[in-house]
Amino acid sequence: MAGAEFPSKARVRVRYAETDAMGVVYYANYLTYFEVGRVEYLRAAQADYRAIEEGGFIAAVTRVACRYYAPARFDDLLAIGARAARLGRASLRFEYEIRREPDGVLIAEGFTEHACLDRQSLRPVRLPDAVRQAIVVFQPSSEEQGELEFHCKGSR
C-alpha cells in the first residue's frame, strides 16, 4: 500500500504508557491509532464524528484486523494513513497504514468495519446521506466505483 493512496494522514507520537515491558507499542494500542486515523479522516472529509453521533447515529465496530511489520517504540513519530475502502448501505470499512517518520518504515496496516446503528435502538440504519456524500467528495474514487472496494494485503 503506497502512502499516496491514503487521502488522510494523522500523526501521533508514541507515549511511554503505550509501550509494554519489551519497550515496544503494546499490540492493542494500534486499534487506538486506527481510531485516531478514522476520526481525522472524517474530520478532513467534513463528516465530523461528533456531529454524526449528535444526529442519532453510531458506527459500531463489527470487525477489525491488524498486521504488524515492525515495532514502534517510545517517542517514535507515527503517520497514520486512513481511507474509506467500502461504503455499504448501512456499513463502511476503513483501511489504515501506520508508518514511522521520518524513515517511512511500515509498522502496521489493517482495517475496521462498522455498522451504522440508530443510537437509541442500536438497530442497523442506512448510512446518513450527508456522511456518504462527504466521503464521496473527499475521496472521489468512491463515486466512480459505486461502492469503494480496496483491500490491504492482510484483509483477505
Q: Does the pLDDT at position 111 exceed 50?
A: yes
pLDDT at 150: 40
pLDDT in tens, 116-148: 999 999 999 999 999 999 999 999 874 444 444
For residue 113, CA distances in Å to 15, 43, 91, 132, 143 come to: 27, 18, 7, 15, 19
pLDDT in tens, 10-31: 999 999 999 999 999 999 999 9
- Grid cell listed for 115: 455498522
CB-CB contact of 83 with 95 (8 Å) = yes
pLDDT in tens, 38-79: 999 999 999 988 889 999 999 999 999 999 999 999 999 999
pLDDT at 4: 45
CB-CB contact of 123 with 117 (8 Å) = yes
pTM for the full model? 0.87
CB-CB contact of 30 with 68 (8 Å) = yes
Question: Which domains does the chain carry?
Answer: 3-155 (3.10.129.10)
Q: How many residues does the chain have?
A: 156
